[in-house]
Amino acid sequence: MPPRTPEAPDRTERSHPTDPPAPTAGTPTEGSGAPDEGPAATVATPAPSYRRLFALPGARAFTVGNLVARLPSGMFGVSAVVMIAGARGSYALAGAVTATGLAATAVTAPWVARLVDRHGQARVAVPATVCAVLGSLALVLCVRCGAPDWTLFAAYAATATTPNTGGMSRARWAHLLRGDPAALHTANSFEQAADELCFMLGPVLAAFLTGAFFPEAGTLTGAVLLLAGVLLFAAQRSTEPPPRPRTRAKAPLRAPGMPAQLAVCVAMGAVFGSMEVVTVAFADERGHRSAAGVALALQAAGSCVAGLVYGALRPGGPAARRLPWCVAAMTALMSLPLLAAALTGSLPVLAGALLAAGTATAPTMVTTMTLVQQRTPEGRLNEGMTLAVTGLLGGIACGSATGGWTVEHLTPTAGYTIPIAAAATALLLSLTQREPRQGRAVRRD
């Protein structure tokens, strides 16, 4: 997940009690311009351990709060679809409501992140979360009371103020680990593994709650977890990055290298969105639609394990040179589900292929978010990372639509060509990127 503008003179002049010592001469740093030796250079010497990472004062507390707050991100979509479709008998309405929430998030999330950068995480995240929770409660009431359909759209759109808790957590690591890019790499890898874990467990928990209790249980539980997690996270003030209320840094979208990097995010989002829809259709065609969740969970599990392993190793060379290799591996591995579907037609074999394909996801996303961190101007880190997430969400929406069209007009097996095409597009975009010149910005690390 990030050239730094010149107006950040305090990066080396001020210290933090938890700052690790700066790297010694000759130590390779992220984006240092060290020569890249090719794919074998992506794993060099061991990186700082996770144990050392969480020995930092306050790290465990804000991580626990963030994980609790992040889990509902994988619950709300499934919970809303089950709740609305069960009450109104229309999956089309449920899909339209969740799509509206996604569009509202794309507009609102960068604005909320900008406020976080300017005024601090605790001052903005808590009221923004309260607003989102009220929107979830309003949605439950509207569904329960049989309110007009338009109220569902309005209520779910209010949940778009949910802060990017993953971005705020990464911003804390960037603040605590200034001057130690190896440790920051380990932290970013952990955060990506946490993302995969939450998106793996969230839908399963939502499906269990809505099926075992009542349709609104998933949304209500998600709202409680979100509020409790953000309150715990925001209470850890000692690790909170200082706000930058008067920064004159340019907008992240205008920073060198950022537009191209966000385009890569959109293409990668299309990989994820299309893979999900096509896998559900493939399982449904064979009469095992419920097994699609297990297959997709295996893909997330492969990514989660790969993320933790990647974080335990120290990659060599700058992230800009590593990204094409990571995306190339993703493109190659995305062919496995297509081969499994076309040659065997077996859902268990497909699940194994998805597990293998998922191992390229986390390293690619870790490298992507590292570049976003490096290229986001000083004082606007949350905004830059939220734009990356927005790009991913936009890509997921496009991938879902394209995958759905292919499944409906061709076959689910043919649909597996869409993730490959999207990954190949991301590869082409990463190959055409140029590293911003040193004279235009100062790197974070």
* 309 Cβ contact partners less than 8 Å away, ≥ 6 residues apart: none
Q: Note the pLDDT of residue 5.
A: 36
| 50-83 tens-digit pLDDT | 788 888 888 888 899 989 998 888 788 778 877 8
> What average pLDDT score do residues 145-155 get?
90
Average pLDDT value for the chain:
79
pTM strictly above 0.85: no
Name which residue leads in pLDDT, 247 or 14.
247
Question: Percent helix, strand and coil across the chain, each rounded to 5?
Answer: 75, 0, 25
Q: Does residue 440 have a pLDDT over 70?
A: no
CB 375 within 8 A of CB 257: yes
Structural tokens at position 15: 């210290």
Structural tokens at position 244: 């930058």
Q: Residue 212: which pLDDT band, with cuts at 50, 70 and 90? A: confident
Question: Which domains does the chain possess?
Answer: 58-246 (1.20.1250.20), 250-445 (1.20.1250.20)
Q: Note the pLDDT of residue 133.
A: 94
Report the largest interatomic distance among the alpha carbons of the chain, rounded to a whole angstrom.
67
CA distances from 203 to 5, 74, 324 (A): 40, 5, 31
| 319-361 tens-digit pLDDT | 788 889 999 999 999 999 999 999 998 889 999 999 999 898 8
> What average pLDDT score do residues 190-202 get?
80
CB 3 within 8 A of CB 320: no
Only one residue has tokens 């949350």, namely: 382
Rg of the chain on CA atoms, in Å: 21
